[in-house]
Amino acid sequence: MRIREAVPADASEIASVHVRSWQAAYRGQLPGEFLDGLSVEEREAMWRSGLSDRGPGRGCFVAEDAGGRTVGFVAFGPARDEHGPVPAETGEVYAIYVAPGAFGTGVGRELFARAGDALRERGFRTAVLWVLESNERARQFYEVAGWKPDGAVTTERIDCLNYPTVRYGVKLG
């Protein structure tokens, strides 16, 4: 496996991982019709735009398998916390997803560690992320990595429904 900085040309493979991961990880948590209707093309446009104009402090890494296929990604940068103030030196992991075939292989751990290192290198002292309250697998992953719920809770509107979402945080030692 190789981890490298993502470029706009990676948008299609990132979008594919993003959609397939949502369809696998959120099955049973989000409506099946919603998950089945996710569009790689729509996500690709979103990722192409985001990778072309990242803004200060933002980054994205992709993990590639031995064949050069993208099997995971992580996006991060300054905290965009609309749900309560966070110190200016707080970074955020915006998204981390691994292709279903790579679940449990260590790809996610490597990407998550690289994002933490990159946030620290960019001068962030703490970091946060948001996760669906019902996503026990992801919450366990974050807790094993040393992240803890910090008490902030909001809702994420997905497919016309509101889902409880909790914020996790960590000091970037």
Is 0.75 topped by the overall pTM? Answer: yes
Where do the DSSP E strands lie in the chain?
Answer: 2-5, 59-64, 70-78, 90-98, 126-132, 148-158, 161-171
- Domains of the chain, by residue range, sit at 2-171
Could you list the pLDDT tens digit for every one of the 173 residues in the chain?
Answer: 999 999 999 999 999 999 999 999 999 999 999 999 999 999 999 999 999 987 888 999 999 999 999 999 999 999 986 766 777 899 999 999 999 999 889 999 999 999 999 999 999 999 999 999 999 999 999 999 999 999 998 888 887 778 899 999 999 97
The single residue listed with the structure tokens 């996760």 is 131
Domain 2-171, CATH number (from 3.40.50.300, 3.10.20.600, 1.10.10.10, 3.40.630.30): 3.40.630.30
Q: Measure the CA–CA gap between 173 and 171, rounded to whole angstroms.
A: 6
Structure tokens that stand for 86 in this block: 């966070």
The answer to whether 115 and 96 have CB atoms below 8 angstroms apart is yes
Q: Which whole-number Å values give the CA distances from 20 to 30, 71, 150, 169, in the listed order?
A: 14, 11, 29, 26
Q: Which whole-number Å values give the CA distances from 60 to 110, 153, 162, in the listed order?
A: 13, 26, 28
The answer to whether 43 and 22 have CB atoms below 8 angstroms apart is no
Strands 70-78 and 59-64 turn out to be antiparallel
The answer to whether 98 and 62 have CB atoms below 8 angstroms apart is no
